Amino acid sequence: MNNDQVLLALSSAGLTRVTAYEPMTRHTSWRVGGPADFFGVAETENAVFGALKVAREAGLPWLVLGGGYNVLVSDAGIDGIVIANRVRGLTIEETLGEPQIHCGAGVFFAKVAQETARRGFTGMEWGIAIPGTVGGGVVNNAGAHWGDVAHALISATVADGDGLSRTMTSDDLAYHYRQSALKERSATRSRFVVTGCRFHLERDSPQASLARVDELRAHRLRTQPVKEPSAGSTFKNPPGNHAGALIESGGLKGYRLGGAQIAPMHANFILNAGGATAGDILGLMRLVQERVKDLFGVDLEPEVQFVGRWPDEALRSVLGIAA
């Protein structure tokens, strides 16, 4: 297919806002990243399947973005098709007497937390502290405070590149700290796209659940730079320690490289402080890793994922310490 044929095929498959050479600065929380060859928004599960079919028939690579958090897109952009997963829908139901929430992968965690609490359920309040969508959270085993996906998830509905749908349980996803079988597959051609998921709930009073949501939201506002462009936590916490504390102890809080800055409020956040490039952010990540390794002998492993046209040596530099 030529470019025009790919664009027409994506539109015919049910995607919206279909464009070529779409800047990823518009779709990532860091507000950095070069253009994607092709871009479209999938608002239904059928549109996801349609986009994957187009990619398969055109012989193009594909990438799914949720809320655009937890990713660093290369300044050189992304090959192939970027699918913005906006599959919505949120219902609460009972199965064998157990309340559950079923939501589309494009629903934001904050909405899940707020809506379940408002209706008098507990179990998902921690989601108010997760900035992204549930689809991305299922892949990355997102978590905050006392909760995470691994302990809350019942099952996820996923689509594969061959157009098949399947259901995977929490056990199938082999969760561990900020990792899952889906994330491990993301570096291979044998990938899945989360289209929906189910989480456990328990009954509680709306007042008690909403109070917990408000408390966690207030804590996040006090301790994290939520009003500035970042990807959330940049590095995973090493065993028995906190990445932010190590970075701060290394004297790097507030340090700036180009347009990228280590947040003065929380050292495990790197901000786009104005005009940052993905290269600035990658360079600052590498500087942090070297400082923490030199001072404390600790390898900091990135929590963010690197996507797009990155030179191999650039990624080796930031991933090599933790390899």
Catalytic residues: 178, 233, 303
For 268, the token pair is: 């495990």
Tokens coding 312: 């191999």
d(CA 125, CA 106): 18
Q: At what angle do helices 206-223 and 109-118 cross, to 10 degrees?
A: 150
In angstroms, the Cα distances linking 50 to 38, 63, 168, 173, 194 are 14, 14, 21, 25, 14
Here the tokens at position 278 are 């993905």
CA-derived radius of gyration, the chain: 20
231's CB contacts (< 8 A; 6+ apart) are: 28, 29, 30, 69, 70, 71, 72, 270, 304
Is the four-CA dihedral 138, 139, 142, 146 of positive or negative sign? positive
